[in-house]
Amino acid sequence: MDIMDFLSPLIGGIQVLDNFTIWGFILLGTIIGVIVGALPGVGATMTYGMLLPFTFTLPADVAIALLLSISVGNAFGNSIPAILMGIPGSPSAILTVIDGYSLHKKGESGLALAVAWFAAMAGQAISIILFVLMVVPLMAMAYNFGDPEKFALFLLGIVAIASLTGDNVVKGLMAGGVGFMIGIVGLDPNSPLPRFTFGFSILRTGFDIAPVMIGLLALGELFRSTRQVFKWEARIDTKHAAKFPPLYKLKDTIWPILSGTFIGTFISAIPGAGATPAAMIAYQQAQLFAKRPEEFGKGSIEGLAANEAAQNASNSGEAAPALALGLPTSGSMVLLLAALTIHGFIPGPNMIRQTPELFYAAIGGMLAATLILTLTGWHLGLAMLRFVNINRSIVVVLSIFTVLVGVYCLSYRVFDVWVVIGCGVIGYYLSRYGYAVAAAALAVVLGRQLERSLRLGLNLTDGDWIGMLSRPFTALFVCVTITFLSIGIYRTMKFRKKMRDAKMLTEATAAD
C-alpha cells in the first residue's frame, strides 16, 4: 500500500461532489438530520427507517451520501435538546446533558452550543481521514476472504451485537435467532427446497429486507413511543439567550476534541459498540488528562468537547466496517446496508472493492455535510429551538404514517405493509423485554449469507470443521467472537449480581 491508496479515496470523494443534485440531497439530509436530532427520541435509525423507501428511486451513490449526511446532522442536532432542555436527543448524548445542561443553567448556553458545534465539526472532519485510513487496509485484508472467512466474520458481527447490546446475553442471542428465522424463510440457499413458506408462493423468495428492517428498527420503536403521551415544551428552559462566545474560550477544547475523535472513530468501529460507549470512553479519557477535571459533571467544556467529538466521529467509525467488510455495527448502518441491498449490492467483504463509487460517495457525503454544518450549523442549531417545541404526538403519528406509506410505495404491495407491521410488533416486544433488536436486524441481513458461507466453506474443506475453522483469518474471527461472547456473559452475570444486591438491600430495609 502506498500513499496514493489513501489519497485516491479522498480525491474520489471530492470528485463525487461535482454536481448540484448530490449537493442538494446532502443539504436536505443534513437539515433533516439536525431536525430529527433535535427531537428527543427520534434518532438516526428511525429517520433512516422512514426515509429508506424514498431513497430507492435515487442512484446508489446519492442514496448513501444522503443517508450519511443525515447521520452527520443528527449527531450534532441531538446535542441541542441535551444542552437546552436536559433531554438527550439520542442515548449517545446522555453525557452532553451532564455538562451541557449544567452550562446552560449557569447562563452559558452560548458557550455550550458553540463547544458542541465546534467539537462536532472538528471531530467529523478529522474522523473522515481516519475512516479512509481504516477502510483501505480493511479492504486489502478482505481481498483474500473466502467463504470460511465470510462465515466467521458475519458470525462475529451478530454475536458481538447480541452480546454487547442489552443486559442479558441469552436474550441477545435469541434476538439474533429471531432475525435468522425471518431471514431463513424462502428457498434454501443451496437447493430449491422451500423452508417455512407454509405453501404461500409469496414467501418462496423470502421477505424483502427493507420492510423487515424498517419494521424491526423504526416502527417497533415508534410503537414503543406511543406508550407515553407528554409534551416536550413543558421541559424547555429558554430564559438564557444563546450568543456565540469569544473564540479564545474554545482553546481548551482542542486536545479533548482530538482524543475524542480518535476514540470515537475506533471504538464505534467495533461491532456492538456504537456511538454511546465511544462517547462515554472519550469523556472518561478526557477527564484523566483534563486541565480542570474537577469541573467534569458540573459544566466542563473539555468533557462536552470530547463527548461531542466522539459522537460525530462515530459516524465515520461505524461506516468503516459496514462498507469495508459488509459488517454493520449499529442500527442505522444495518439500514444503510439494507438500502444498498435493494440497489442490487450484496453486503460483504468485497462490496466496495468491486464498487469503489460507494466508498467515494460515503466520503463525499460526510465531507459535504460537514462543510454545510460548518457554515450553517450555528444558525441551524438556534433555529432548531423552534422545532423542539412541536407537538410530540403529531411527530409520532406522522412518523408511523410515513413508515406505512413509504413501505407501501416500495413495490405498491399491501403485503409489505403487513410485513412492516408484523416486524414492528416483533421489534416492539423484543425491545420492551430486553432482546437486542439490532442483533435481530443484523441477522436478517447477514443470516442467509452466513448459512450459505458456512455450507460452501464446509464443502471447500470436504466437511472438515477443523480445517475450515483453523484458517488464519477464520480462527482470528472465531477467537474474537468467543471473546465478545465471554464479555457478554460476564456483563450479564454482573447485571444479575447488581440486581440481587439491590433486592437484598430492599428486603433488608423493609425488614428494618
Partner 1 sequence: MDSRKDLLFALAMVCLGVAVILITYNFREPVIQDTIGPRAFPYGLGLLFAVGGAFVAIQRLKSMHAGNGYIVPDEGGEDEEAYPASGVRAMAMIGLCCVYTLVLQPIGFIVATPFFVALALFLMNERKPMLLITTSLCFTAGTYVLIHLLLDGRLPEGVLKGLLP
Q: How far is the CB of 432 from partner 1 (least distance, A)?
A: 5
- Exactly one of 21, 144, 205, 226 binds partner 1 (CB under 8 A); that residue is 226
Instruction: Select from 71-79, 109-117, 304-312, 452-460 the region that touches partner 1 (CB under 8 A).
Output: 452-460
Query: SS3 of 303, please?
Result: helix
Provide the minimum distance between the beta carbon of 458 and partner 1 in the complex, in angstroms, as a whole number. Answer: 4
Q: Which three cell numbers stand for residue 244?
A: 456565540
Judged by CB, which is closer to partner 1: 184, or 280? Answer: 184
Of 154, 228, 161, 176, nearest to 430 (Cα)? 176
- Kindly tell me which of 19 and 509 has the beta carbon lying closer to partner 1: 509
Contact call for residues 131 and 317 (beta carbons, < 8 A)? yes
CA 345, CA 364: separation in Å to the nearest integer?
19
Residue 200 touches partner 1, criterion: CB under 8 A: no
Which residue number, 57 or 201, has a Cβ lying nearer to partner 1?
57
- Using the rule CB under 8 A, which residue among 254, 455, 476, 491 binds partner 1? 455
Site membership for partner 1, residue 184 (CB under 8 A)? yes
* Segment near partner 1 (CB under 8 A); pick from 29-37, 130-138, 217-225, 238-246: 217-225
Q: How far is the CB of 71 from partner 1 (least distance, A)?
A: 21
CA distances from 468 to 138, 139, 329, 451, 471 (A): 22, 22, 25, 14, 6
Q: How far is the CB of 313 from partner 1 (least distance, A)?
A: 25
Quick one: cell of 499?
440486581
Nearer to partner 1, 200 or 401 (CB): 401
Closest CA to 407 of 48, 47, 62, 50: 50
Indicate which single residue of 230, 246, 294, 509 sits in contact with partner 1 (rule: CB under 8 A).
230
Inter-residue contact 169 to 492 (CB < 8 Å): yes
Question: Shortest approach of partner 1 to residue 455 CB, angstroms?
Answer: 5
Closest CB 188 distance from partner 1, rounded Å: 4
Beta bridge partners of 187: 194
* Nearby residues of 301 by Cβ (< 8 Å), 6 or more positions away: 99, 103, 111, 112, 115, 249, 250, 252, 253
Buried b (16+ CB within 10 A) or exposed e, 362-378: bbbbbbbbbbbbbeebb
Quick one: 6 or 54, whose CB is closer to partner 1? 54
61 binds partner 1 (CB under 8 A): no
Interaction of residue 28 with partner 1, rule CB under 8 A: no
* 159: contact with partner 1 by CB under 8 A: no
Out of 11, 15, 144, 196, the residue judged to bind partner 1 by CB under 8 A = 196
Q: Could you tell me the smallest distance in angstroms from the CB atom of residue 431 to partner 1?
A: 5
Q: How far is CA 4 from CA 323, 324, 325, 342, 356, in A?
A: 20, 18, 21, 32, 15
Q: Which is nearer to partner 1, 62 or 305 (CB)?
A: 62
**Hey, what's the cell of 462?**
470436504
Give the binding-site size for partner 1 (rule: CB under 8 A): 70
Site for partner 1 in 267-286 (CB under 8 A): none
φ, ψ for residue 195, nearest 5 deg: -125, 130
Taking CB under 8 A as the rule, does residue 508 contact partner 1? no
224 near partner 1 (CB under 8 A): yes
Q: Minimum CB separation from partner 1 for residue 370, in Å?
A: 29
Minimum distance of partner 1 from residue 206's CB (angstroms): 14
Containing 484, the helix (H) or strand (E) segment is helix 472-511
CA–CA separation, 320 and 138 (whole Å): 9
Q: Would you say 347 and 445 are in contact if contact means Cβ atoms under 8 Å apart?
A: yes
The residues that bridge with 51 in the sheet, in sequence order, are none
**Structural contact between residues 131 and 13, judged by C-beta atoms closer than 8 angstroms:** no
Smaller CB separation from partner 1, 249 or 413: 413
Residue 460 Cβ, how far from partner 1 at the closest point, in Å? 10
Chain residues 387-416 in contact with partner 1, contact rule CB under 8 A: 391, 393-394, 396-398, 400-401, 404-405, 408-409, 412, 414
Q: Is residue 229 near partner 1 by the rule CB under 8 A?
A: yes
Cell of 114: 458553540
Q: Choose between 255 and 408: whose C-beta lies nearer to partner 1.
A: 408
Q: Are strands 194-195 and 186-187 parallel, antiparallel or unpaired?
A: antiparallel
Q: Is residue 202 a contact point for partner 1 (CB under 8 A)?
A: no
Residue 244 DSSP one-character state: P
Maximum Cα–Cα distance for the chain, whole Å?
73
Per rule CB under 8 A, is residue 451 in the interface with partner 1?
A: yes
Q: Which stretch binds partner 1 (CB under 8 A): 19-27, 354-362, 386-394, 481-489?
A: 386-394
Q: To 10 degrees, what angle do helices 392-411 and 414-432 make? A: 130
As a residue count, the chain comes to 512
Q: Round the CA-based radius of gyration of the chain to a whole number and report it.
A: 23
The residues of the shown chain that bind partner 1, judged by CB under 8 A, are 54, 57, 166-168, 170-171, 173-174, 177, 180-181, 184, 188, 190-193, 195-196, 221, 223-224, 226-230, 391, 393-394, 396-398, 400-401, 404-405, 408-409, 412, 414, 417-418, 421, 424-425, 428-435, 451, 454-455, 458-459, 463, 495-496, 499-500, 502-503, 506-507, 510
